[in-house]
Amino acid sequence: MNALSEQILSELRHLLIEMSDGGSVGPSVYDTARALQFHGNVTGRQDAYAWLIAQQQADGGWGSADFPLFRHAPTWAALLTLQRADPLPGAADAVQAATRFLERQPDPYAHSVPEDAPIGAELILPQLCGEAASLLGGVGFPRHPALLPLRQACLVKLGAVATLPSGHPLLHSWEAWGTSPTTACPDDDGSIGISPAATAAWRAHAVTHGSTPQVGRTDAYLQAASRATRSGIEGVVPNVWPINVFEPCWSLYTLHLAGLFAHPAFADAVRVIVAQLDARMGVRGLGPALHFAADADDTSVALCVLRLAGRDPPVDALRDFEIGELFVTFPGERNASVSTNIHALHALRLLGKPAAGTSYYVEANRNPHGLWDNEKWHVSWLYPTAHAVAALAQGKPQWRDERALAALLQAQRDDGGWGAGRASSFEETAYALFALHVMDGSEEPTGRRRIAQAVARALEWMLARHVAHALPQTALWIGKELYCPTRVVRVAELAGLWLALRWGRRVLAEGAGAAS
């Protein structure tokens, strides 16, 4: 066990040191399909097309069957791209299966828009649906009528602006509304809105309009984004890239949840990341990437990390996102995010600032079992629950929540893991352990025994599945589809396993002490 703990610490340290390359993000069906569509020429991209076809599920759709709301964008995009690649082996069969899948699917946007709808759904889905209708004739596809007025309102607003500033949030979905390259300009990384799909679309329009000086920079960006997937296939790209603020911020925040933030094994790597964050944090806050708009979520987690590192960051960085006593992730967003307000609460408490309204909002946004499951950036209820428990307990050593503890223990699967889908996942099991770690500190002996039993079962499940330097595959983060920020997830997996190992040793030591 000691050898495994050392191996985990070593892998975590290497992950932190690597976080200077823009970030690691798993491959995206949606963005790869769109990039192939805008690339136009099948030649030289056969491996990427083969990868796309291989991701199709047995039911004909793309994306996890556990989370059907997030399957429309990748399935529409893959269908339309493969429709144009008919001569390729398997393409025609994939199109037929996808058509049958979409015909059978209930329309989640028939009457209203779900709170946790994918990013840019109001712009992307009607556009893909319209394109499919003109291409494939009278097929009985879902039409997403509730999204149409939202798209129209957004297009009216965009029509009044000649060019959006670099990094504007709406640039992330440029592929769904942009027609002229003059409405956007590549940022310093060569991207349009840190989106491979948007960048590929802009590049195609720029070539058509003869605006070629920036095309070389977009090519370099798309190649770098493809490398970030670690798929080894040219043309396979991630859902978002770079994530050079989000990745280090969330990774260090996760280390804090596991009690690892101040571990000497990471001191040098943490010092480098904190110094960079401190230099970049201004009065307007931070976004997921250096050249993207600031938002309340990244700003809040960065403030937490800086404060945990002993810095005194400017709390005013959050004020631009404050509406009453709540925080919006981006100004003008359709609905508030529970996890953004959880992170804002945590930051305010760490900085010693009043946060009664935000605390009330976080407490009020639970389900009847006392857990948090109404979340727009992550599909699993275990993510906001772990973070909410940490935020609510911050500065309150006697904080207890019997209802949430009972529900969390009840949700553990027979195999010892946790998961919002049909199977347990390593990432989600780690989040459960982070929450139990906080709760254990203020529990009575009976409660602590129940927690220890749950942790022992979780440890057994994790040990049976742990592989050194494994690449996480399960996509649980909400973008235009579900995606996996690989290093962020791997840090959570390793930190959860390390916590369970240490917990097991402590329980054994306490048992030996009681026996003697």
Determine, yes or no, domain membership for 196. Answer: yes
Indicate whether 286 and 352 sit together in one domain: yes
- What pLDDT is recorded for position 417? 98
- What pLDDT is recorded for position 80? 94
Indicate whether 113 and 175 sit together in one domain: yes
2 pLDDT tier (thresholds 50, 70, 90): confident
Q: What percent of the chain has pLDDT over 70?
A: 98
Determine, yes or no, domain membership for 234. Answer: no
Determine, yes or no, domain membership for 22. Answer: no
At 225, is the secondary structure helix, strand, or coil?
helix
Phi-psi region of 469 (alpha: psi -120 to 50; beta: other; left: phi over 0): left
Indicate whether 290 and 412 sit together in one domain: yes
Determine, yes or no, domain membership for 1. Answer: no
Distance (Å, whole) CA 194 – CA 183: 16
- What pLDDT is recorded for position 357? 93
Q: Are 203 and 219 in contact (CB under 8 A)?
A: yes
Q: What is the pLDDT of residues 134-162, one digit of tens each?
A: 887 766 778 899 999 999 999 999 998 88
Determine, yes or no, domain membership for 236. Answer: no
- Taking residues 176-193, report their average pLDDT: 95
Indicate whether 33 and 12 sit together in one domain: no
Instruction: Find the radius of gyration of the CA atoms of the chain.
Output: 23
Indicate whether 218 and 275 sit together in one domain: no
Indicate whether 196 and 89 sit together in one domain: yes
Indicate whether 111 and 208 sit together in one domain: yes
- The last residue of one of the domains, among 169, 195, 229, is 229
- What pLDDT is recorded for position 224? 98
- The last residue of one of the domains, among 181, 202, 229, is 229
Indicate whether 223 and 75 sit together in one domain: yes
Sign of the torsion formed by the C-alpha atoms of 272, 273, 278 and 281: positive
Determine, yes or no, domain membership for 117. Answer: yes
Domain that holds residue 71: 29-229
Tell me the angle at which helices 338-350 and 382-393 cross, rounded to the nearest 10 degrees: 20
Indicate whether 417 and 443 sit together in one domain: yes
Phi-psi region of 370 (alpha: psi -120 to 50; beta: other; left: phi over 0): left
Mean pLDDT over each residue of the chain, to the nearest integer: 94
Our count of domains for the chain comes to: 2
The CATH code of the domain that includes 63 is 1.50.10.160
Distance (Å, whole) CA 253 – CA 188: 27
Q: What is the pLDDT of residues 255-302, one digit of tens each?
A: 999 999 999 999 999 999 999 999 999 888 999 999 999 999 999 999
Q: What is the pLDDT of residues 303-324, one digit of tens each?
A: 999 999 999 999 999 988 999 8
Determine, yes or no, domain membership for 88. Answer: yes
Confidence check: pLDDT of 486 > 90: yes
Q: What is the pLDDT of residues 422-458, one digit of tens each?
A: 999 999 999 999 999 999 988 889 999 999 999 999 9
The CATH code of the domain that includes 326 is 1.50.10.20
- What pLDDT is recorded for position 134? 83
Global confidence as pTM:
0.96
Determine, yes or no, domain membership for 23. Answer: no
- Taking residues 219-234, report their average pLDDT: 97
- What pLDDT is recorded for position 516? 47
Indicate whether 221 and 264 sit together in one domain: no
Indicate whether 12 and 36 sit together in one domain: no
Confidence check: pLDDT of 210 > 80: no
Indicate whether 12 and 34 sit together in one domain: no
Confidence check: pLDDT of 1 > 70: no
Close Cβ partners of 107 (under 8 Å, ≥ 6 residues apart)? 142, 143, 144, 145
- The last residue of one of the domains, among 204, 229, 254, is 229
